Amino acid sequence: MKVALLSFAHVHATSYASLLADWPGVELLATDPDGATAPPGELRGRALADRLGVAYADSYDDALAWQPDAVIVCAENSRHRDLTVRAAAAGAHVLCEKPLATTAADAEGMIEACERAGLFLMTAYPVRFSTEFAALKSLHDGGRLGTVLSATGTNNGHIPIGDRAWFTQPELSGGGALVDHVVHVADLLDALLEQPAVEVRAVTNRILHAEKPINGVETGGLVSVTYADGTIATIDCSWSHPDSAPNWGGLTLQVVGTEGVADIDPFGTHVGGYAGGGPAWLSLGTDLDRAMLGHFLDGVRSGRAPQPDGAVGLRTLRIVLAAQESARAGTAVPIPQLTS
């Protein structure tokens, strides 16, 4: 199977490239023409491909002319649509980095382009593939949690601008911590509750990393989401994991039901201690990127639509967009419900 990696903009591109380079039955070609516009010091383009030891094409057109069966879109958020539409036109299935897009119109355009071409569009939500989430989902589906009352999710990490400055350039990222960190938890809740989100209220601030080039984007935020069945959820999306911490951050989800409380911490299992003059953190979880890529490639091979798909990407993006509007307006914002 021929897989093209379109852009090295997202920090996850390196992980995908390393995994796919050794993936049995996969031929990988990478391209990163926009890397030329990245700030000096960011390892992009052919230099990064060489470092990773993967084949490289100079342009998106060249990569798509290679006729890949599938592509992975790792461009800056606002560039997802263009690359997805071009990949669909070239007949390639698409795995797109999250968030799916920065506007609902872009996400809808991507879904439509892939649908019309009979191609899969999957949104890259790796935490869905954790054993911890599977356990939670199984508890919920088996009725062990009872009726869900509320959920609290956190996705706190390092601010990612050390490696990629565009994460705080709104024209490329679409915003700050709200855009980067709400969607993972929103996706888990989408899969768990199977309920549409109906209302969002968000507050944000810019206290964290105020001295860094954040270009006015939010670095902290709390997002309250109400679901159709009355379930309430709050997501802490802040880039609040200290630079000095030995790990990148993590994601947690606590679900409160009438039968009790369940907590998952998919990035929490580790060997701790002190090493080299500071705290040590040896992560032990399964490689979620590997599990997610495997699911996508299986879908492409078998013709079974991989999940989470573009529709989930759009539903979770709508929560982000409502959160942005709420943070601006100061009020709770209803989420438009699809009538179909």
- Least distance (Å) between residue 209 CB and another protein: 7
Residue type, 167: F
Of residues 117 and 161, the one with the C-beta less far from another protein: 161
Least distance (Å) from another protein to the CB of residue 99? 20
| Beta bridge pairs of residue 97 | 124
Residue 225: strand pairing partners: 200, 233
Closer to another protein by CB, 84 or 238: give it: 238
220 vs 299, beta carbon nearer another protein: 220
Contacts with another protein by CB under 8 A lie at: 146-147, 149-150, 152, 154, 156, 201, 203-210, 219-222, 224, 226, 230-234, 236, 238, 240-242, 244-245, 254, 256, 258-261, 263, 330-332
Closer Cβ to another protein, 31 or 204, answer by number: 204
* Closer Cβ to another protein, 257 or 306, answer by number: 257
The CA radius of gyration of the chain, in Å to the nearest whole number, is 19
Distance of closest approach, residue 197 Cβ to another protein, in angstroms: 13
CA distance 317 to 319: 5
We find the least distance from the C-beta atom of residue 231 to another protein, in angstroms, to be 6
Q: Where are the beta strands (DSSP E) in 88-208?
A: 93-97, 121-124, 148-157, 197-205
The residue (of 39 and 143) whose beta carbon lies closer to another protein is 143
Neighbours of 272 (CB within 10 A): 11
**How far, in Å, CA of 262 to CA of 258, rounded?**
11
Q: Closer to another protein at the Cβ: 19 or 222? A: 222
Paired tokens of 95: 């795995």
In the complex, minimum distance from the CB of residue 42 to another protein, in angstroms, rounded to a whole number? 24
Question: Considering beta carbons, is residue 15 or 234 the nearer one to another protein?
Answer: 234
In contact, 177 and 204? CB cutoff 8 Å: yes
CB of 87 to another protein, least distance (A): 37
d(CA 61, CA 43): 22
**Positive or negative CA dihedral for 28, 9, 130, 100?**
negative
| Residue from 190, 220, 163, 187 nearest 288 by CA | 187
Q: How far is the CB of 331 from another protein (least distance, A)?
A: 6
Q: How far is the CB of 128 from another protein (least distance, A)?
A: 24
Distance CA 1, CA 303 (A): 13
List, in order, residues 6 or more apart from 254 with CB less than 8 Å away.
Answer: 151, 152, 153, 261, 262, 263, 264
Q: How far apart are CA 136 and CA 123, in angstroms?
A: 21
**Cβ nearer to another protein, comparing 207 with 338:** 207
DSSP type of residue 309? B
The answer to whether residues 127 and 187 touch, using CB atoms and an 8 Å cutoff, is yes
Query: Least Å distance between CB 339 and another protein?
Result: 23
| Contact of 224 with 200, CB cutoff 8 Å | yes
